[in-house]
């Protein structure tokens, strides 16, 4: 093939131009001139010869394209869980499903995990408790109603203040730490604060809100200094939280509702509380075999103790001293009947007075907090219970010691002769319901909840009496089963009414309180019988813990009857804390 003479000249100039910059510039200028049709490369194929294929970088297809004549492979089967059964398209015979297995995959489904939808048909307690038990990065955004002020954003300081005020009323009223956090969480989420973390301890409430990962958090706190028992106010706060979380009331309406709750007076006057205290002690004395005179004596001693406690409270004395002075009159009345050699069961009088003083409400709340993972609050509540019981011990022991010094032969105070095996079902069932009714008044419950709580208390004693007196079961498991039914019924009633479970549970456990075991332990201590006293007190503590654990277990069983909030697939339950392992 003949070479192109022009190409040879350009190549020569390019070679010579390497020795000087001017020649190189001249060569570059000549190369940039437009060339004629004859000025082609030496590699241009002659006429009649086909052009070679285009360079690789100008190819319109990838190097992984299939050659012509080959068929594409069939699409691979969609990836699923390693634990799912093989499909029929793979040519394998599917394995039979195990008995009781559900249709869903054991672990991650092929199309991902469906998002949790927190529907409004479920109680707000369940919705918020479910979110609290989730990790922060897995919490879904709850469905909130449309609000007119969403364009400008929520008023963060006011929302946090409202949330803390609601939590303060709930915690001061004896609500469990988990339910208080659930209420605070629900209020904050309802007003648009999604990244919030409420924290509840025994006397301190705090809440932290972080708008985004790059913004500084806003934290507010509030201290609970005053505690009072008013379940009417507690139920009103629960209704307010339900209106906020489900009905979507505005922030101003929520503040007005909270102000009305604070302004409302107690449903029962102070004289009604005093009468209810006497009625409670009289009914408790009937449970252990007391007659009409014992009923009146126990009622008189309890009413005197209640008035002295009110006087001590008005003087600003701590609650410990209030329990000391409240425990002294019932013991004094019992010792007085024993010194007079009257045909009265003095031990039944003192036992009835102790029923009105044992802090069963605080004990149940403390054990509930411990079982749900709030150990700091649980320890503080149980420490409070310990101090109050010590106050009762001091008041009763001081009176018993004085009585034994006056007459060492007080046989009607001896444990082996004080209370015999009393088994009168009709009398005891009536007394248990009367005791629960009196507890309802002392707890300032709403009138429409009194009937349910009274009936629940009667059921608790029927179950305990059938297991202990008829079946011969030990009092501790019998008490736990009776308390479990109380917690079960109370939780179901509260969930269907979107209210707190305390009004339906606290009064109903009154007949199961260990009044007689506590009294026998104190009496043995006063007489110098330390082993017998410790045995009785250990039994009293065991009964108290059985009540608390039974109530909590019944509440958890009640939640199992209802579907987890917004979860349609079977087999998915609400989350709980993982067990702490030793490694």
The residue-averaged pLDDT of 533-548 equals 87
Note the pLDDT of residue 480. 92
With 0-12 / 13-18 / 19 or more C-beta atoms within 10 angstroms meaning exposed / middle / buried, residue 293 is middle
Q: CA–CA separation, 416 vs 272, rounded Å?
A: 36
Q: CA–CA separation, 548 vs 368, rounded Å?
A: 7
Mean pLDDT of the residues in the chain: 75
Which residues does 105 contact at the CB level (< 8 Å), separation at least 6? 80, 81, 83, 84
Residue 100 has pLDDT above 50, yes or no: no
218-223/196-200 β-pairing: unpaired
Residue 7's pLDDT band, with cuts at 50, 70 and 90, is very low
Least confident window among 289-303, 412-426, 504-518: 412-426
Residue 441 has pLDDT above 60, yes or no: yes
Q: 191 vs 414, which has greater pLDDT?
A: 191
The residue-averaged pLDDT of 423-445 equals 89
Q: CA–CA separation, 209 vs 186, rounded Å?
A: 13
Structure tokens at 308: 């002295």
Residue 303 has pLDDT above 90, yes or no: yes
The residue-averaged pLDDT of 313-339 equals 88
Q: CA–CA separation, 302 vs 2, rounded Å?
A: 130
Note the pLDDT of residue 11. 44
Residue 569 has pLDDT above 70, yes or no: no
Note the pLDDT of residue 579. 47
Query: Is there a contact between 244 and 187 (Cβ–Cβ < 8 Å)?
Result: yes
Note the pLDDT of residue 116. 45
Residue 420 has pLDDT above 80, yes or no: no
Residue 12 has pLDDT above 50, yes or no: no
Query: How many CB atoms sit inside 10 A of residue 507's CB?
Result: 32
User: Alpha-carbon torsion 447, 449, 455, 459, what sign?
Assistant: negative
The residue-averaged pLDDT of 79-98 equals 49
Residue 581 has pLDDT above 70, yes or no: no
Note the pLDDT of residue 560. 74
User: What is the phi-psi region of residue 97: left when phi exceeds 0, alpha when psi lies from -120 to 50, beta otherwise?
Assistant: beta
Q: 560 vs 80, which has greater pLDDT?
A: 560
The residue-averaged pLDDT of 73-87 equals 53
Residue 566's pLDDT band, with cuts at 50, 70 and 90, is very low
Which residue blocks in 123-176 are alpha helix, DSSP H? 124-132, 156-172
Helix, coil or strand: residue 223: strand
Q: 152 vs 166, which has greater pLDDT?
A: 166
Helix, coil or strand: residue 204: strand
Residue 310 has pLDDT above 50, yes or no: yes
Task: With CA atoms as reference, report the closest residue to 176 among 443, 378, 449.
Answer: 378
Query: Is there a contact between 289 and 420 (Cβ–Cβ < 8 Å)?
Result: yes
| φ, ψ for residue 501, nearest 5 deg | -85, -15
Q: CA–CA separation, 297 vs 299, rounded Å?
A: 5
Least confident window among 51-55, 173-177, 400-404, 572-576: 572-576
Residue 261 has pLDDT above 50, yes or no: yes
Task: With CA atoms as reference, report the closest residue to 174 among 460, 505, 493, 494.
Answer: 505
Cα 200 to chain centroid distance, Å, stands at 11
Structure tokens at 231: 């379940």
Residue 342's pLDDT band, with cuts at 50, 70 and 90, is low
Structure tokens at 546: 């059985």
Instruction: List 200's β-bridge partners, or say none.
Output: 205
| φ, ψ for residue 206, nearest 5 deg | -145, 155
pLDDT in tens, 168-181: 999 988 888 888 98
Least confident window among 193-202, 328-337, 571-580: 571-580
Q: 563 vs 292, which has greater pLDDT?
A: 292
Query: Is there a contact between 555 and 509 (Cβ–Cβ < 8 Å)?
Result: no
Task: With CA atoms as reference, report the closest residue to 498 among 180, 170, 240.
Answer: 240
Structure tokens at 222: 């509030």
The residue-averaged pLDDT of 231-254 equals 88
Query: Is there a contact between 577 and 373 (Cβ–Cβ < 8 Å)?
Result: yes
Query: Is there a contact between 339 and 404 (Cβ–Cβ < 8 Å)?
Result: no
Helix, coil or strand: residue 206: strand
Note the pLDDT of residue 140. 61
Note the pLDDT of residue 527. 72
Query: How many CB atoms sit inside 10 A of residue 362's CB?
Result: 16
The residue-averaged pLDDT of 304-323 equals 90
């Amino acid at each position: 093939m003949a070479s192109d003479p022009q190409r040879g000249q350009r190549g020569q100039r390019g070679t010579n131009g390497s020795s000087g910059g001017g020649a190189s510039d001249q060569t570059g200028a000549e190369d940039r001139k437009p060339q004629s049709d004859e000025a082609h490369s030496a590699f241009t194929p002659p006429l009649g010869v086909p052009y070679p294929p285009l360079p690789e970088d100008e190819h319109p297809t990838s190097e992984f394209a299939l050659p012509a004549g080959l068929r594409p492979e069939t699409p691979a089967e969609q990836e699923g869980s390693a634990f799912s059964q093989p499909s029929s398209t793979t040519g394998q015979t599917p394995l039979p499903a195990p008995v009781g297995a559900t249709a869903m995959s054991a672990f991650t489904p092929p199309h991902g995990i469906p998002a949790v939808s927190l529907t409004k048909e479920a109680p707000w307690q369940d919705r918020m408790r479910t979110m609290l038990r989730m990790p922060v990065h897995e919490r879904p955004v709850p469905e909130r109603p449309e609000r007119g002020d969403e364009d400008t954003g929520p008023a963060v300081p006011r929302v946090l203040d409202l949330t803390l005020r609601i939590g303060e009323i709930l915690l001061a009223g004896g609500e469990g730490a988990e339910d208080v956090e659930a209420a605070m969480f629900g209020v904050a989420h309802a007003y648009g604060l999604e990244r919030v973390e409420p924290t509840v301890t025994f006397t301190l409430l705090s809440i932290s809100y972080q708008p985004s990962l790059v913004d500084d958090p806003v934290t507010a706190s509030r201290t609970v200094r005053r505690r009072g028992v008013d379940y009417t106010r507690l139920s009103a706060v629960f209704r307010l939280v339900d209106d906020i979380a489900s009905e979507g009331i505005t922030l101003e309406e929520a503040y007005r509702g909270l102000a009305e709750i604070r302004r409302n007076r107690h449903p029962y006057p102070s004289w009604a509380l005093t009468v209810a205290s006497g009625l409670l002690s009289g009914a408790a004395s009937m449970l252990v075999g007391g007659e009409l005179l014992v009923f009146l004596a126990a009622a008189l001693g309890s009413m005197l103790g209640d008035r002295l406690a009110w006087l001590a409270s008005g003087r600003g004395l701590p609650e410990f001293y209030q329990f000391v002075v409240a425990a002294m009159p019932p013991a004094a009345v019992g010792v007085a009947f024993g010194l007079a050699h009257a045909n009265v069961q003095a031990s039944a009088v003192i036992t009835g007075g102790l029923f009105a003083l044992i802090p069963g409400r605080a004990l149940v709340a403390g054990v509930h907090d411990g079982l749900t993972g709030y150990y700091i609050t649980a320890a503080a509540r149980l420490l409070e219970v310990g101090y109050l019981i010590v106050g009762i011990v001091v008041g009763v022991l001081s009176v018993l010691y004085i009585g034994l010094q006056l007459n060492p032969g007080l046989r009607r105070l001896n444990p082996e002769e004080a209370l015999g095996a009393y088994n009168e079902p009709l009398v005891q069932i009536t007394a248990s319901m009367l005791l629960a009714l009196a507890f309802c008044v002392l707890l300032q419950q709403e009138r429409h909840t009194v009937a349910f709580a009274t009936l629940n208390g009667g059921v608790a004693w029927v179950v305990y009496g059938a297991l202990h007196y008829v079946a011969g079961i030990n009092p501790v498991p019998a008490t736990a089963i009776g308390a479990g039914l109380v917690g079960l019924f109370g939780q179901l009633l509260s969930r269907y009414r979107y209210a707190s479970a305390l009004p339906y549970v606290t009064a109903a456990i009154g007949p199961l309180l260990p009044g007689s075991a506590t009294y026998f332990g104190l009496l043995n201590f006063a007489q110098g019988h330390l082993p017998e006293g410790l045995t009785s007190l250990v039994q009293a503590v065991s009964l108290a813990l059985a009540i608390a654990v039974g109530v909590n277990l019944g509440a958890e069983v009640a939640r199992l009857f209802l579907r987890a909030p917004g979860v349609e697939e079977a087999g998915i339950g609400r989350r709980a804390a993982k067990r702490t392992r030793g490694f």
